[in-house]
Amino acid sequence: IEAMKHVKADIQLKIAGTGPMEQELKRMAAGDDRIQFLGFVNEDELIQYYANARGVLFTPYDEDYGLVTIEAMMSGKPVITCTDSGGPKEFVEGGETGFLSEPDPIDLARQIQRLCDMPEDQIREMGEKARRKVSSINWKTVAAELTYGEEVELKAVRKKLTLACTFPIYPPTGGGQA
Distance of alpha carbon 148 from the chain centroid: 28
pLDDT of residue 169: 67
Residue of 50, 81, 54 lying closest to 66 (CA atoms): 81
Mean local confidence (pLDDT), 50-73: 94
Rounded to 5 degrees, φ, ψ at 39 are 70, -155
Taking 80 as the threshold, does the pLDDT of residue 177 lie above it?
A: no
Sign, Cα dihedral of 143, 146, 149, 155: negative
Taking 60 as the threshold, does the pLDDT of residue 152 lie above it?
A: no
- Residue 157's pLDDT band, with cuts at 50, 70 and 90, is low
pLDDT of residue 154: 60
User: Cβ neighbours of residue 111 under 8 Å, at least 6 residues apart?
Assistant: 80, 99, 100, 101
